[in-house]
Structure 1
């Protein structure tokens, strides 16, 4: 090389040594003994361009938030060291300054991350408090069917929430874990007790089903029907047995019941056929009995009803579906006659009649005495006394009229 080849940021000496210009002076970056100075400068400026491109890419990634603040800081530091010591020709100082300019951006991102993390932590604290509170409530409740599923859901929610500081997180986790343990222990105890109760119910229901089957062929309709009612009451009181066994026992119990009541209904149907003629007889008797009402001659009505009642009893039983209607109509006639008899007795009660006559006599005597006093007052010219006695006589006369009417009712 015959002479130095220079550029704005470096030069190539005659011996092929390449220098880069910096604010602190020139620095050797290498040698390029073979080739022209232009080729030498291009070789080292290309190196600078490659570094510049790396810086540009890093600036873009930092600006876009593609790197965490820690990653960005580490990458900037590493690349800056490469730039400062780079064997390249170009504005290395400017390139380093561009890297330094990312520091405020990274600091801002770091602060934003800190604020975001603090917010997430606060939200996580609120959510974990809710999870713990709900878990503790479930632990004291008796929702054995849905509680376990809900606790699993709460655990899944817990796992995706950000951790808090160790002390707070550990305290909340301990409460949550304790609630889950308490619920699980109580749930197991509940189902153990329930299993014991169901097994006890199984023993009782097996006995009831066996007795029901033994009674299914009985023809003592009344007592057996009553016993079946007792068995049903005991069945309900026993509570549920294990489901598959409970269903099977119920089929046996219900089947026995159906067999008995079916046989009873069939027997009653046969009896109803036999009793149908009796119902027709009683219907005719009723027509005669109902003609006695309204009662015009009590003694005649009583005699006629006694005869009809004897014929009624002699007619025998009637079908059950006719019994209530027929008996009710006959009873209504009987009650009507008895009511007329009671009214007549009340009117002819000797004791009441005597009391009524006594009241009339006393009122008449009182009026006679009052009349004597009135005559004397008139003779004496005592107008005030006359007025009082006349008013008194009028009241007593009114009472006497009512008493006489009552006495007539008993005569």
Structure 2
């Protein structure tokens, strides 16, 4: 099973982003150029070099292409040439000596070799060699005939693994035990590497190679046990591949979810009402989302092509929609700015025509009207708006500066009148509180006459002094109203008539109460008592009002 997708993930093409991209200016709506980069296409996986062709081992029963010279021995299945045996002579047999272990070929990283799997990485220690006891135990599975033929015992029976004529049995067995040790080291190394991040492709290729190596190896040892160990590792490898596949699927699911969030964020920006859109921040957000998309495409887990294409189409559509609405918005804004510029230019002309007027009141009102129309005209471009406003404000300042100068001259003339009126205010305020209404009214009339004769006061003091005099006048009016209410003959007559009626009613209720008590009528006693209390309360109020009117 391959762990990586052989096809490179590539983003779907998108219409090129505009060379110039307008953004919102909060005060002047200027446009700026911006370019949005397209996501880079995912690079295809690098080509993995094929391993160098390994020299196949020579089978035990294979006939060599050219016969070895007489008196020499070349082991049939050793990939590395064994040292030449001494010529066969009548000399006594050589003493038993240990056979040196053939050097292992340097493996290519990550690829199996004919005799070994991948070279151990720094995190995976090399398997230990056979101990002397283990070598002796492995040698017990083989035997050597008199002609140098080496046999190995398996569950299916004995089979030949090679010939080593001219050497003693121990020396011949030692060579093939060493080959068994190499196979065992390969299996142990594979087991150790299963706990690392070994890819599914490497797992499958290593299992395939080890299976082939253990089919009928030219080795002496517990080959059945080694095959059983490989089968156990095959089950363990299947679990490891399943876990890796689950992790890969989960990573893909997370990647799809993350890409979907990017797409939904872009679609949310594109769906914003153009009238409420903040174009510059929104453009920055879209560029940031595009950078995140490209980073996920380069560095994140690969997702399947149909899903990525569908998500990219949505993302690209959102960006295209945003760009289209932005262009439309600023196109309409440009038209609106041109109209506002035309209207404001006319207002400036009117303001400049009024700047030299000395008709202060009506012209002040005209300038207020021009200001209201200016605000309703909308905004022109920043440059035009600032220039027109400077001319409008200069016309205003010219008029109001002239008006203020005239008012200051007038106020200087009216300062003496202000002093007179301040003195009159002190006399008027001395009447409060009012104790003699007739005298207060006469004094106030005299003050009012002098007030009118004093003339105008400066504009800044007008409201202040007028307000103080109005307060005194209101106090005199309130006192006069209160006095009239108390002395009104009609009010007094009504009060006296009401009192007489209440006296009569009270007398009648007292008689009713007395009769009810004699008959011991509880209901009539209660009604008469309540009515009597109410009439007496009314009478008290009427007598109080009559006393106040005297």
Greater mean alpha carbon deviation, residues 397-406 or residues 270-279: 397-406
Of the candidates 100, 114, 119, which is equivalent to residue 59 of structure 1? 119
Of the candidates 395, 408, 411, which is equivalent to residue 272 of structure 1? 411
Instruction: Encode CA deviations 1:305-351: one digit per residue, 9 max, x unaligned.
Output: 22211211111111233222211221111111111111111122232
Separation in 2, partners of 1:135, 1:301: 82
> 2:76 is matched with which residue?
21
- Judging changes above 3 Å, is the alpha-carbon distance between structure 1 residues 170 and 315 closer, same or farther for their aligned structure 2 residues? same
- Judging changes above 3 Å, is the alpha-carbon distance between structure 1 residues 382 and 124 closer, same or farther for their aligned structure 2 residues? closer
Between 1 and 2, higher relative CO (CA 8 Å, sep ≥ 6) is seen in 2
How many Å apart are 1:294 and its aligned residue?
Answer: 3.1
Separation in 1, partners of 2:367, 2:542: 64
Match of 1:118, SS?
Answer: helix
> 1:121 is matched with which residue?
252
1:163/1:169 contact within 8 Å kept: no
How many Å apart are 1:134 and its aligned residue?
Answer: 1.1
* Structure (1 or 2) with the greater helix fraction: 1
Match of 2:119, SS?
Answer: helix
Of the candidates 337, 340, 347, which is equivalent to residue 208 of structure 1? 347
How many Å apart are 1:276 and its aligned residue?
Answer: 0.8
2:270/2:322 contact within 8 Å kept: yes
Separation in 2, partners of 1:397, 1:52: 129
2:270/2:318 contact within 8 Å kept: yes
User: In the TM superposition, what are the counterparts of 1:5-154 in structure 2 within 5 Å?
Assistant: 13-14=68-69, 19-22=74-77, 49=103, 51=105, 55=113, 58-60=118-120, 114-142=245-273, 143=277, 144-154=279-289
Separation in 1, partners of 2:535, 2:262: 93
Q: Does 1:221 align with 2:221?
A: no
TM-score, normalised to structure 2, is 0.54
1:128/1:172 contact within 8 Å kept: yes
Greater mean alpha carbon deviation, residues 181-190 or residues 103-112: 103-112
Separation in 1, partners of 2:544, 2:339: 78
Of the candidates 286, 289, 313, which is equivalent to residue 174 of structure 1? 313
Match of 2:349, SS?
Answer: helix
Match of 1:231, SS?
Answer: helix
TM-score, normalised to structure 1, is 0.70
**Structure 1: stretches of 5+ with no match in the other structure:** 1-9, 38-47, 84-90
1:12/1:19 contact within 8 Å kept: no
> 1:156 is matched with which residue?
291
Of the candidates 255, 278, 281, which is equivalent to residue 420 of structure 2? 281
How many Å apart are 1:119 and its aligned residue?
Answer: 3.7
> 1:384 is matched with which residue?
518
- Judging changes above 3 Å, is the alpha-carbon distance between structure 1 residues 201 and 50 closer, same or farther for their aligned structure 2 residues? same
Match of 1:294, SS?
Answer: coil
User: In the TM superposition, what are the counterparts of 1:312-391 in structure 2 within 5 Å?
Assistant: 312-363=451-502, 366=504, 370=508, 384=518
Separation in 2, partners of 1:385, 1:284: 78
Report the number of matched residues: 369
Separation in 1, partners of 2:507, 2:246: 118
Separation in 2, partners of 1:382, 1:17: 159
**Structure 2: stretches of 5+ with no match in the other structure:** 1-63, 88-101, 122-189
> 1:44 is matched with which residue?
none
Instruction: Encode CA deviations 1:71-98: one digit per residue, 9 max, x unaligned.
Output: 89889999xx9x9xxxxxxx9879xx99
Instruction: Encode CA deviations 1:332-382: one digit per residue, 9 max, x unaligned.
Output: 111111111111111222322222233244456x379859x96xx99xx99
2:506/2:532 contact within 8 Å kept: no
